[in-house]
Amino acid sequence: MFDAALPTPAALMQDPAFAAALRDCGEQPRTLPSSGLTLLHRRIGGMPVAMLPRAHPPSTLSDDLHALGLHRTALILSPPTPCPMPRALRLRAPQPIAVINLTAPTATRRAALHPKWRNQLRCAEAANLRLTQAALPPDPRHPLLMAEAAQARTRRYANWPAPLTAAFARVAPAQTHLFTAWQGRTPVAHMLFLCHGRSATYHIGHISPAGRAVCAHNLLLWHASDCLADRGFFQVDLGLLHSDSPGLTRFKRRAGAQVQMTGGTWLRWTPLAR
Nearest to 177 by CA among 195, 198, 163: 195
Residue 268 above 80 pLDDT?
Answer: yes
Cα(187)–Cα(185) distance, rounded to whole angstroms? Answer: 7
What are the C-alpha distances in Å from 263 to residues 54, 55, 93, 141? 9, 9, 8, 35
pLDDT digits (tens, 9 = 90+) for 115-170: 999 999 999 999 999 999 999 999 999 999 999 999 888 888 888 999 999 999 99
Residue 210 above 90 pLDDT?
Answer: yes
- The dihedrals phi and psi of 53, each to the nearest 5 degrees, come to -80, 135
* pLDDT confidence bin for 215, thresholds 50/70/90: very high
Q: In what order do the strands lie in the sheet with 258-261?
A: 130-134, 176-183, 186-196, 199-207, 235-240, 96-101, 258-261
Nearest to 13 by CA among 57, 49, 54: 54
Return mean pLDDT, the chain.
Answer: 93
**% residues pLDDT > 90 (the chain):** 85
Chain centroid to CA 111: 25
Cα(85)–Cα(251) distance, rounded to whole angstroms? Answer: 33
pTM of the model: 0.93
Residues whose CB falls within 8 Å of the CB of residue 39, separated by 6 or more in sequence, listed in order: 29, 30, 31, 32, 50, 51, 52, 68, 70
pLDDT digits (tens, 9 = 90+) for 170-190: 999 999 999 999 999 999 999
What are the C-alpha distances in Å from 37 to residues 65, 76, 84, 87? 12, 14, 17, 20
The Cβ-side half-sphere exposure at 229, using a 13 Å CA radius, reads 16
- Tell me the one-letter amino acid at 155: R
pLDDT digits (tens, 9 = 90+) for 6-53: 445 679 999 999 999 999 999 999 999 999 999 998 888 888 899 999
CB-based contact 61:222 (threshold 8 Å): no
- Tell me the one-letter amino acid at 181: A
pLDDT digits (tens, 9 = 90+) for 83-121: 999 889 999 999 999 999 999 999 999 999 999 999 999
Cα(175)–Cα(21) distance, rounded to whole angstroms? Answer: 12
The Cβ-side half-sphere exposure at 52, using a 13 Å CA radius, reads 28
